């Protein structure tokens, strides 16, 4: 095996940061989603049950895998970001970067090897997470995987992997700022920016939100997102009754009043939006989407309205468009990341 | 991989090396050579510019003026065939805390172009030579300061370089370690013809075995000491105090070019 890849793989295998991050995703995501699904299926009107029910995009295993997708994308961004930050930044913090100079293996090659092992790390983490989630779904009694469920699992894997790929450019921050803490700070900034931009309605144009859009649109029977998605899912923040009902009709735990549950979750998701855009918005949006949107934007800045309207035509808000755009972005970032690492070391 | 050509000229040849850190001239027009089979010691107080000079020789810093050549190649153009012949230990010893000393030494050998089986064999030899066998299979993060320094030396020496650049290699070493290091450097330079450039902030046991001693102060080469001479400390401080008294240190530094 290539000397740089062998060395980097050994370092990552032994690293407590990488091990803990991998286990946190692989064990944490299925455990969390299984707990959420169990809460939603148990019914009741507790906060947890209502929010968990609102996260369900369908029934059965496919609906459960929808929650897995939502949690996986966030978990992969955060953990891959932290491990990437450590992988590159530690060379500066530990002072080992001096040993990487005056070697026959160039630093560009070492940087490339770090990217290779990080991609393998995130691929295995994502695959193991989805497999374990499928197992947990079977244990919950959601039945054997069908065609829809396999498709949802595939989308979870794709969205999680893309999110991990979007965390890799943090390597450049770690190298340029000579440490892992600046890269972790940048990761926090990305998470906050994603929340704000998505709440403003421009998530479709923001790559860090786009894998989630791609994932949320995975089911062609589901409606497109409304103009005001919350940070988790554009679809579920749609005003109740504004689009066709989710596949399966209603949340499984409360067939009589699915709209009430969605409304309550939507209100919770609107808090950030209200705080940013201003008060006075109707707490519970009316049933008519158009009048709701008009009332929502009356007196608001025009550019914000344009931004939100533009989301509908963003190429990122279609599954294939978002995946393609993200792949292009990641390739560009990797090339820049490699160059940045080498440049700043010298 | 082709080994660097047998040296007819100096292994290290620096001419007029200059580097500014902001308004400070860290290294000021230094000329330096190290030839095969020679131990060349750089001595000077803290901040004299020894480490900065070594960093320029290893390509870690680009000089603002002057040139540096290793095995006749300009440092900026040096490729794998040059770097496979260079071993170095600068500031923090090389070694990842999560790996064992053996794994670290193997990694260092492989990053210097040694193949897997040879790297394993040579790493075993180095671990034995530097008496690290007792800790060979533990995590390197548990090593004491002195043993971490031994590990750094093992990583610098494992690929059998023709040029060694060591910055204060006795840091943290116990008297036995200093004696071992002295023996290793003597056998490699005088026995195998390795060129050694070693720095120290005082005239320690390693500086005393040097064939040449260059004194640096405030980025300048201010004189040489005869290793065979007597009362080296006294002469060292004489040179430094004279330079300090006569030097233009109180004048403001010229702007960075």
**CA distance linking residue A333 with residue B180, whole number of Å:** 48
Question: In angstroms, how far is CA A58 from the centroid of its own chain?
Answer: 19
**What pLDDT score was predicted for residue B26?**
93
Highest mean pLDDT among A231-245, A325-339, B89-103: B89-103
In the beta sheet, which residues pair with residue A158? Answer: none
Annotated domain spans of chain A:
3-345
pLDDT band of residue A264 (cuts 50, 70, 90) is very low
Name the average pLDDT for chain B. Answer: 90
What are the strands of the beta sheet with B65-70, ordered from one edge?
B24-34, B12-21, B65-70, B73-74
Instruction: Give the three-state DSSP class for A293.
Output: helix
Return all residues near A188 (Cβ < 8 A) that are at least 6 apart.
none
Number of helices (H) and strands (E), helices first, in chain A? 13, 0
CA distance A94 to chain B (A): 8
> Residue A233: is its pLDDT beyond 50?
no
| A39-53, A297-311, B11-25: the lowest-pLDDT one | A297-311
Highest mean pLDDT among A134-143, A209-218, A313-322, B44-53: B44-53
Q: Is-contact B157 B126, C-beta < 8 A?
A: yes
Q: Which residue has the higher pLDDT, B7 or A182?
A: A182
Q: What is the mean pLDDT of residues B23-50?
A: 93
- This complex has an ipTM of 0.88
Q: Do A15 and B98 touch (CB under 8 A)?
A: yes
pLDDT digits (tens, 9 = 90+) for A172-187: 889 888 899 999 999 9
| Residue from B110, B153, B159 whose CB has the most chain A CBs within 10 Å, to mutate | B110
**CA distance linking residue A72 with residue A158, whole number of Å:** 10
Across the interface, of B60, B103, B113, the residue whose CB is closest to A98 is B60
Q: Is-contact A142 A61, C-beta < 8 A?
A: yes
**What pLDDT score was predicted for residue A130?**
94
Q: Is-contact A179 A89, C-beta < 8 A?
A: yes
Name the average pLDDT for chain A. Answer: 72
Across the interface, of A10, A11, A98, the residue whose CB is closest to B92 is A98
pLDDT band of residue A152 (cuts 50, 70, 90) is confident
pLDDT digits (tens, 9 = 90+) for B159-209: 999 999 999 999 889 999 999 999 999 999 999 999 999 998 777 777 778
Instruction: Give the three-state DSSP class for A99.
Output: helix
**What pLDDT score was predicted for residue A207?**
75
Instruction: Give the three-state DSSP class for A233.
Output: coil
For residue A137, report the phi and psi dihedrals to the nearest 5 degrees: -65, -40
pLDDT band of residue A108 (cuts 50, 70, 90) is confident
**What pLDDT score was predicted for residue A268?**
39
Pure H helices in chain B: 50-57, 80-83, 101-111, 116-129, 145-157, 175-186, 205-208, 232-246
Across the interface, of A7, A94, A104, the residue whose CB is closest to B107 is A7
Q: Is-contact B102 B124, C-beta < 8 A?
A: yes
Domains and CATH numbers, chain B: 32-85+162-247 (3.40.50.300), 94-160 (no CATH)
**CA distance linking residue B79 with residue B84, whole number of Å:** 9
User: Could you say which DSSP state residue B201 is in?
Assistant: S
pLDDT band of residue B23 (cuts 50, 70, 90) is confident
Q: Do A95 and B92 touch (CB under 8 A)?
A: yes
> Residue A246: is its pLDDT beyond 90?
no
Task: State the DSSP string of B30-59.
Answer: EEEEE-TT-EEEEE-STTSSHHHHHHHHTT
Question: In angstroms, how far is CA B123 from the centroid of its own chain?
Answer: 20
Q: Is-contact B86 B161, C-beta < 8 A?
A: yes
**What pLDDT score was predicted for residue A149?**
85
In the beta sheet, which residues pair with residue B41? Answer: B198, B213
Return all residues near A203 (Cβ < 8 A) that are at least 6 apart.
A194, A197, A209, A210, A212, A213, A229, A234, A311
- The count of C-alpha atoms lying within 13 angstroms of the C-alpha of B211, restricted to the half-sphere facing its C-beta, is 17
Calculate what percentage of chain A has a pLDDT beyond 70: 59
**What pLDDT score was predicted for residue B196?**
97
Residue A238 token pair: 């749609």
**What pLDDT score was predicted for residue A39?**
82
Across the interface, of A4, A11, A95, the residue whose CB is closest to B98 is A11
| CA-closest candidate to residue B51, choices B167, B131, B134 | B167
**What pLDDT score was predicted for residue A251?**
38
> Residue B92: is its pLDDT beyond 70?
yes
- The count of C-alpha atoms lying within 13 angstroms of the C-alpha of B150, restricted to the half-sphere facing its C-beta, is 28
List residues of A whose CB lies inside 8 A of any B CB. 3-4, 6-7, 10-11, 14-16, 94-96, 98-105, 346
B-chain residues within 8 Å CB-CB of A109? none
Highest mean pLDDT among A126-130, A136-140, B2-6, B7-11: A126-130
**CA distance linking residue A240 with residue A237, whole number of Å:** 8
Dihedral of alpha carbons A225, A229, A233, A236, sign: negative
Across the interface, of B59, B95, B98, the residue whose CB is closest to A102 is B59
Highest mean pLDDT among A167-171, A221-225, B119-123: B119-123
Q: Which secondary structure element, helix H or strand E, spans residue A137, and what is its range? A: helix A107-139
Return all residues near A192 (Cβ < 8 A) that are at least 6 apart.
none
pLDDT digits (tens, 9 = 90+) for A20-69: 999 999 999 999 998 888 887 777 777 777 777 777 666 678 888 888 98
| CA-closest candidate to residue A134, choices A155, A150, A158, A147 | A150
Q: Is-contact B103 B73, C-beta < 8 A?
A: no
**What pLDDT score was predicted for residue B106?**
97
Q: Which residue has the higher pLDDT, B86 or A201?
A: B86
CA distance B183 to chain A (A): 24
| A87-101, A215-229, B114-128: the lowest-pLDDT one | A215-229
pLDDT band of residue B51 (cuts 50, 70, 90) is very high
| Residue from A95, A99, A107, A111 whose CB has the most chain B CBs within 10 Å, to mutate | A99
Instruction: Give the three-state DSSP class for A97.
Output: helix
| CA-closest candidate to residue B158, choices B127, B195, B182 | B127
Q: Which secondary structure element, helix H or strand E, spans residue B166, and what is its range? A: strand B163-167
- The count of C-alpha atoms lying within 13 angstroms of the C-alpha of A339, restricted to the half-sphere facing its C-beta, is 6
Return all residues near B39 (Cβ < 8 A) that are at least 6 apart.
B185, B186, B189, B196, B198, B209, B210, B211, B212
**What pLDDT score was predicted for residue A302?**
62
For residue B152, report the phi and psi dihedrals to the nearest 5 degrees: -60, -40
> Residue A305: is its pLDDT beyond 80?
no
Q: What is the mean pLDDT of residues A75-98?
A: 93
pLDDT digits (tens, 9 = 90+) for A314-335: 555 555 556 666 666 666 666 6
B-chain residues within 8 Å CB-CB of A346? 59-60, 62
pLDDT band of residue A242 (cuts 50, 70, 90) is very low
| Residue from A13, A92, A94, A104 whose CB has the most chain B CBs within 10 Å, to mutate | A104
């Amino acid at each position: 095996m290539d000397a740089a890849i062998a060395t980097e793989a050994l370092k990552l295998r032994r690293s407590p940061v990488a091990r803990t991050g991998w286990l946190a995703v692989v064990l944490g995501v299925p455990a969390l989603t299984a707990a959420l699904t169990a809460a939603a299926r148990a019914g009741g009107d507790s906060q947890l049950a209502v929010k968990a029910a609102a996260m369900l995009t369908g029934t059965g295993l496919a609906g459960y895998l929808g929650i897995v997708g939502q949690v996986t994308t966030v978990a992969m961004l955060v953990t891959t970001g932290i491990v990437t930050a450590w992988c590159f930044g530690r060379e500066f913090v530990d002072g080992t970067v001096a040993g990487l100079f005056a070697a026959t293996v160039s630093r560009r090659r070492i940087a490339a090897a770090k990217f290779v092992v990080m991609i393998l790390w995130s691929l295995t983490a994502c695959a193991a997470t989805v497999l374990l989630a499928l197992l947990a779904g079977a244990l919950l009694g959601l039945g054997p995987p069908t065609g829809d469920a396999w498709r949802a699992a595939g989308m979870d894997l794709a969205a999680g992997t893309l999110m991990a790929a979007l965390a890799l450019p943090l390597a450049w921050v770690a190298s340029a700022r000579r440490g892992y803490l600046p890269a972790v700070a940048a990761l926090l900034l990305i998470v906050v920016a994603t929340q704000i931009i998505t709440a403003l309605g421009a998530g479709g144009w923001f790559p860090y939100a786009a894998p989630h859009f791609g994932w949320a649109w995975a089911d062609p029977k589901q409606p497109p997102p409304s103009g005001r998605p919350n940070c988790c899912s554009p679809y579920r923040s749609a005003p109740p009754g504004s689009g066709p009902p989710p596949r399966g009709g209603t949340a499984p735990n409360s067939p009589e009043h699915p709209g009430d549950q969605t409304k309550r979750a939507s209100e919770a998701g609107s808090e950030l939006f209200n705080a940013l855009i201003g008060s006075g918005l109707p707490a519970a949006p009316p049933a008519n989407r158009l009048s709701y949107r008009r009332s929502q934007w009356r007196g608001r800045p025009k550019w914000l309205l344009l931004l939100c309207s533009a989301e509908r035509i963003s190429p990122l808000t279609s599954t294939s468009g978002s995946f393609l755009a993200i792949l292009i972005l990641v390739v560009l970032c990797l090339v820049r990341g490699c160059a940045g690492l080498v440049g700043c070391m010298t | 991989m082709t080994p660097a050509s047998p040296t007819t000229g100096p292994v290290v040849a620096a001419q007029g090396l200059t580097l500014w850190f902001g308004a400070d001239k860290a290294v000021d027009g230094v000329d330096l050579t190290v030839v095969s089979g020679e131990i060349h010691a750089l001595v000077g107080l803290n901040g004299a510019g020894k480490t900065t000079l070594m960093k320029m020789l290893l390509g870690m810093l680009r000089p603002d003026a002057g040139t540096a050549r290793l095995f006749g190649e300009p440092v900026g153009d040096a490729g794998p065939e040059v770097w496979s012949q260079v071993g170095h230990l600068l500031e923090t010893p090389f070694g990842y805390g999560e790996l064992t000393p053996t794994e670290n030494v193997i990694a260092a050998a492989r990053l210097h172009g040694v193949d897997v089986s040879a790297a394993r064999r040579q790493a075993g030899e180095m671990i034995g030579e530097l008496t690290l066998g007792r800790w060979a299979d533990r995590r390197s993060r548990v090593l004491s300061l002195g043993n971490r320094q031994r590990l750094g030396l093992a990583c610098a020496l494992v690929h059998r370089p023709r040029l060694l650049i060591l910055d204060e290699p006795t840091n943290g070493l116990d008297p036995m370690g200093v004696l071992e290091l002295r023996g290793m450097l003597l056998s490699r330079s005088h026995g195998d013809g390795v060129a050694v450039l070693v720095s120290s902030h005082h005239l320690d046991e390693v500086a005393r075995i040097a064939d040449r001693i260059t004194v640096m102060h405030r980025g300048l080469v201010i004189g040489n000491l005869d290793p065979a001479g007597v009362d080296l400390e006294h002469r060292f401080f004489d040179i430094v105090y004279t330079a300090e008294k006569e030097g233009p240190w109180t004048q403001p530094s010229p702007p960075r070019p």
